[in-house]
Chains A and B, each alone.
Chain A
Amino acid sequence: MSAEISNLYRSLTVVADGMEVTHPELVRRRADRLARIRVAGTAVAVAVLLGGVAVGGRLAFSADGSAPLPPPADTPGPPPTSSTPGPSPSVSPTLSTSQSPTPANSTSGGRPPASATGAAAPRPPTSIPDRAFFRLAAANERGLESWAKSAMLPALCGASYPSDSAVVQRRGRFLAYKKPEQPAESVPDGSYRHTITIYRAGRADDALRELRQAVRDCPTQKLSDDTRTWRQRLLTSGEYGDESVLFEMRSPYPDGMGEPGADEVRLVRAVRIGDVVTVLWEQGWESTTAERAQVDADSRRAVAAIENWLD
């Protein structure tokens, strides 16, 4: 039997015409209900953020210095993982006034930086167990996790990272989360690309320094699958591990996506704990709004899981 494409599309319309179409009043009600929920959620996020910035602002220091590198550990690593662009909508509409372009650095919450004296330095781990990956809070659990391979970071004007040559091991996953008030079976409210990387002794510092520079060198860019212009900037990260980098990617939503006039914002935080770096890249879920408070809370969980593993 042969058929032409136009006939096949006619068959497809027959199938589609058999699908149930919701009553327009139900669509309007749903839209109004969602709008009310989003307004309430944004108000909470503003309150949390204002409190967080007041505390975190006192802890910000410049962190661009680089130490002499020790000899590499004797365990060779796999080939470095390259970064490729990836779409990941998430929105945090309340980050406009209080961030400094200077990344935060703190040494009060984690272990000291890796020693530069080779022989006396503790050997870095050589493999990443499952327990190094944090678990979401029970109220955020959505039960969706994937260990599919993907980039660790979003594209930043084609930046490459020489520190990738010092990777001992890298593992990553995707995981979705929901807001506490949503039922367990609901559509997720956001998702993360979460990676953990072990670097050869002393090289993890380079990874964060290179990431900061990559963000600074890429104030705007166009992504391969997107006609919009994206703006990147460093934000004050706060106290996470030995040092951390937080940056946002921001672009206006296309027509019909997100709230009218709102920006789509992606948040990415990289945290160094000794010779280990974990990256939490909030990717949203179907244009949902990501909240800074959620990313901060999950960043703390990510750091705690790694510290427990390394202890």
Chain B
Amino acid sequence: MRDAQSFDEFYRCTARRMMRYAYAVAGDHTEAQDLVQEAFTRAWRQWGRLSEHPAPEAWLRLVVARLATDRWRRLHRWRSALSRTGPPPDAPPPCEDGVLLVRALRQLPATHRQALALHYLFDMSVEEIARETDVPVGTVKSWLSRGRSRLAALLPDLAVEKLEANDVS
């Protein structure tokens, strides 16, 4: 039996954080809203079991990341189709720095975006990111290092923290 009250409470506590994460991973307003809604839809379908999960928010992040990756691939695949009619213009967010970052993030691989978002939005260590993404620690270090290097290349004014990947943990 699924308890709607506990789900609604979970939703209210986590939806905002999940929206930030989805936006950082997907790089698009509408896409982020869609991803979050889809992730919570799946959460409700399995709420009987998920409510007993030791880390339901981590489960949600995983779903968001997988959905985003799937959609990212599809967007890439359909790019030529969309280019014939022209994509809808981006609604410019009010914050210039946020816009710059999101534009740059769109040019990073999904795994790099995911690792950077987990680190910078959730203050997760390399080990924690490795556990959540189910990859070796060294892979996460590589993702973070390469992701930051790529951002530095894409954002010339960016003062990249002089951190080695090892310092992230």
Q: Which residues of A contact B (CB under 8 A)?
A: 1-9, 11-22, 24-25, 27-28, 30-32, 34-35, 87, 89, 144-148, 150, 174, 227, 254-257, 259-260, 285-287
Contacts and interface: CB of A to CB of B under 8 A. Distances in A.
Contacts of A150: 77
Nearest to B38: A286
Interface string B70-100: 1101100111110000000000011111111
A150 B67 CA distance: 22
Contacts of B151: 5
Contacts of A34: 41
Interface of B: 4, 7-8, 11-12, 15-16, 19-20, 22-24, 29, 32-33, 36-37, 39-46, 49, 59-60, 62-63, 66-67, 70-71, 73-74, 77-81, 93-102, 116-117, 120-121, 134, 148, 151, 155, 157-161
Contacts of B11: 24, 27
Across the A-B interface, give the 4 residue pairs with the lowest CB-CB distance, nearest first. A256-B63, A146-B81, A11-B97, A24-B11
B97 A6 contact: no
A195 B73 CA distance: 20
Contact of A18 (B4, B37, B70, B94): B94
Determine chain B's interface SS by DSSP, over half rule: helix
B71 A286 contact: yes
B153 to A, nearest CB: 13
A148 B77 contact: yes
A21 B93 CA distance: 16
A14 B36 CA distance: 17
Contacts of A22: 15, 33, 37
23 contacts: A2-B157, A4-B159, A8-B155, A11-B96, A11-B101, A15-B23, A15-B95, A16-B19, A16-B23, A17-B20, A19-B23, A21-B15, A24-B11, A24-B40, A25-B4, A27-B40, A28-B4, A144-B81, A146-B79, A148-B77, A174-B78, A254-B66, A260-B46
Which of B79, B80, B117 gathers the greatest number of chain A CB atoms within 10 Å? B80
Given A3-B159, A144-B81, A35 B101 contact: no
A153 to B, nearest CB: 16
Contacts of B77: 146, 148, 150, 174
Given A12-B98, A31-B42, A148-B79, A255 B62 contact: yes
Contacts of A259: 45
A5 to B, nearest CB: 6
B80 A148 contact: yes
Contacts of B121: 9, 12-13
Given A21-B16, A24-B7, A87 B80 contact: no
Contacts of B70: 87, 89, 286-287
B12 A145 contact: no
Which of A1, A5, A174, A259 gathers the greatest number of chain B CB atoms within 10 Å? A5
Nearest to A260: B46
B37 A30 contact: yes
Contacts of B93: 15, 18
A307 to B, nearest CB: 27
A260 B45 contact: yes
Given A9-B101, A150-B77, A27 B37 contact: yes
B67 A286 contact: yes
